[in-house]
C-alpha cells in the first residue's frame, strides 16, 4: 500500500527547548522557547549521547514542520508505569533494564514464536520516520522515530484467516516500574489495533528516535507508533503481540470506557468529556493551534474508516 503525501499540512514555527504543564512554569518555558529557537542545534547536542543506529532510509511525514527538540521529547513523557508526572519519568526509568528482552508472537498465527529483541531488530532495515505525536491531553510534538513497519512482523507471522485484531502488552515488572505499584490502571498495559490499521504503512514499531537507541522513558526497547491516533495507543516496552478474532479491551478502555474508545483517532470534532480536542499546544509554543483530522494524515488513512460513525467509534 503506497503512502500518499498530504498536501494540506502547513508549516509551523520550530518547537523549542522546555515544556510547561502549569501556570507557574509558563513564563520560564516561554523564555526557554526563545533560546531553543535561536540555538536548536546546541541544545540537542547537549542532550544526545545514546547509541547511534544504522538507518537505511529517512522520510518526513510531518510536512514542513520542525522537529521538537530532543530535550523536550526525552524529558516530557506519558509513561504511567513509572509515574503520572511527565517530568519525573526520565529520572525514574534510568535503571530500567532492556536486555535481555524477548517479544512473543501469539494467538491466531501459524508461526507462534518468541524473539530476542536484537534478533528481531536485525530482521528489518531501520527507517527514520518524522511523525507528529498528538496526546489526548492536548499537547503535541514532532519526533523522528527510528523503526520498521509493523506489517513486516505480521506477514512473517502468517495470521490465521480469523485474525481481525492485534493486541499488544507491555512488560509487567513492579520492581523496575514504580508506577505499577499503584492502581492507576490495570497492569500490565494493553492496547490494540484492527488488523488493517496494524498493516498500514504508517504504523511502525520503533526502536529509536533522533538517530539513536530509544531512551527508556520513551518506551525502550520496543514501542508502537501510530501517528494518526492519540498517543496512548502507541504502547511502550512491548513484550507480547497477540492476534485475536475479538477486539481487545485496552487498559484505558477498562479505566474509562466513556472517555477512551478503541479507535482513538485524532479528531478535533469529538471532544474528550472533560475538555475540547479542537486545538492543541505544540510543546514549547506559546499559542494553541488547530488540531488536524487524523493528526494531519487524512490523505493516508481516512479510507480505513469509510462509512463509520467516528463519533460513535471514538
Please check whether residue 7 lies inside any domain of the structure: no
Predicted confidence (pLDDT) per residue in 189-206, tens digit: 999 999 999 999 999 999
Residue 298 lies in a domain: yes
Residue 14 lies in a domain: no
Contacts of 138 (CB under 8 A, 6+ apart): 275, 277, 279, 280, 281
Evaluate whether residue 203 is within a structural domain. yes
pTM listed for this prediction: 0.85
Domains held by the chain: number: 1
> In whole angstroms, what is the distance from residue 236 CA to residue 242 CA?
15
User: Is 313 a member of any domain?
Assistant: no
At residue 4, the pLDDT reads 47
What cell does 206 get?
520503533
44: domain range?
Answer: 23-305
Q: 27 burial class (0-12, 13-18, 19+ CB within 10 angstroms)? A: exposed
Residue 9 lies in a domain: no
pLDDT above 50 for 39: no
Q: Is 12 buried (19+), middle (13-18) or exposed (0-12) by CB count in 10 A?
A: middle
Is 1 part of a structural domain of the chain? no
CB 42 within 8 A of CB 17: no
CA distances 299 to 178, 305, 308, Å, are 41, 12, 16
- The Cα 72–Cα 130 span in angstroms is 15
- Return the sign of the alpha-carbon dihedral for residues 23, 27, 28, 34: positive
CATH, residue 136: 3.90.420.10
* pLDDT, tens digit, 9 for 90 and up, residues 138-155: 999 999 999 999 999 999
Q: Is residue 16 part of a domain?
A: no
Residues facing residue 243 across a β-bridge = 107, 166
Give the integer Cα–Cα distance in Å for 207 and 222: 5
The 10s digit of each residue's pLDDT in 239-260 is 999 999 999 999 999 999 999 9
Q: Does the CA dihedral 293-299-301-305 come out positive or negative?
A: positive
Cβ-in-10-Å burial (0-12, 13-18, 19+) of 269 comes to exposed
Amino acid at each position: 500500500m503506497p503512502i500518499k503525501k498530504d498536501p494540506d499540512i502547513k508549516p509551523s514555527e520550530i518547537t523549542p527547548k522546555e515544556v510547561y504543564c502549569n501556570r507557574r512554569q509558563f513564563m520560564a518555558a516561554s523564555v526557554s522557547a526563545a533560546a531553543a529557537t535561536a540555538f536548536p542545534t546546541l541544545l540537542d547536542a547537549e542532550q544526545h549521547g545514546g547509541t547511534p543506529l544504522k538507518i537505511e532510509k529517512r522520510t518526513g511525514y510531518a510536512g514542513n514542520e520542525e522537529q521538537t527538540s530532543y530535550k523536550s521529547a526525552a524529558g516530557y513523557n506519558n509513561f504511567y508505569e513509572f509515574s503520572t508526572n511527565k517530568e519525573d519519568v526520565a529520572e525514574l526509568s534510568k535503571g530500567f533494564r532492556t536486555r535481555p528482552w524477548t517479544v512473543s508472537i501469539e494467538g491466531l498465527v501459524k508461526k507462534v514464536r518468541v524473539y530476542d529483541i536484537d534478533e528481531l531488530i536485525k530482521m528489518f532495515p531501520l527507517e527514520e520516520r518524522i511523525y507528529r505525536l498528538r496526546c489526548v491531553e492536548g499537547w503535541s510534538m514532532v519526533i523522528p522515530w527510528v523503526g520498521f513497519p509493523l506489517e513486516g512482523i505480521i506477514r512473517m507471522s502468517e495470521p490465521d484467516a480469523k485474525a481481525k485484531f492485534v493486541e499488544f502488552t507491555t512488560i509487567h515488572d513492579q520492581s523496575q516500574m514504580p508506577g505499577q505499584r499503584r492502581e492507576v490502571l490495570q497492569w500490565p498495559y494493553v492496547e490494540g489495533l484492527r488488523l488493517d490499521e496494524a498493516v498500514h504503512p504508517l504504523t511502525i514499531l520503533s526502536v529509536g528516535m533522533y538517530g539513536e537507541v530509544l531512551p527508556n522513558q520513551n518506551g525502550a526497547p520496543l514501542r508502537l507508533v501510530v501517528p494518526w491516533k492519540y498517543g496512548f495507543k502507541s504502547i511502550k516496552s512491548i513484550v507480547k503481540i497477540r492476534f485475536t478474532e475479538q477486539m481487545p479491551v485496552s487498559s484505558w478502555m477498562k479505566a474509562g470506557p466513556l472517555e477512551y474508545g478503541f479507535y482513538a483517532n485524532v479528531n478535533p470534532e469529538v471532544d474528550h468529556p472533560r475538555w475540547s480536542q479542537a486545538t492543541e499546544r505544540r510543546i514549547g509554543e506559546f499559542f494553541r493551534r488547530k488540531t488536524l483530522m487524523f493528526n494531519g494524515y487524512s490523505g493516508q488513512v481516512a479510507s480505513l474508516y469509510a462509512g463509520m460513525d467516528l463519533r460513535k467509534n471514538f
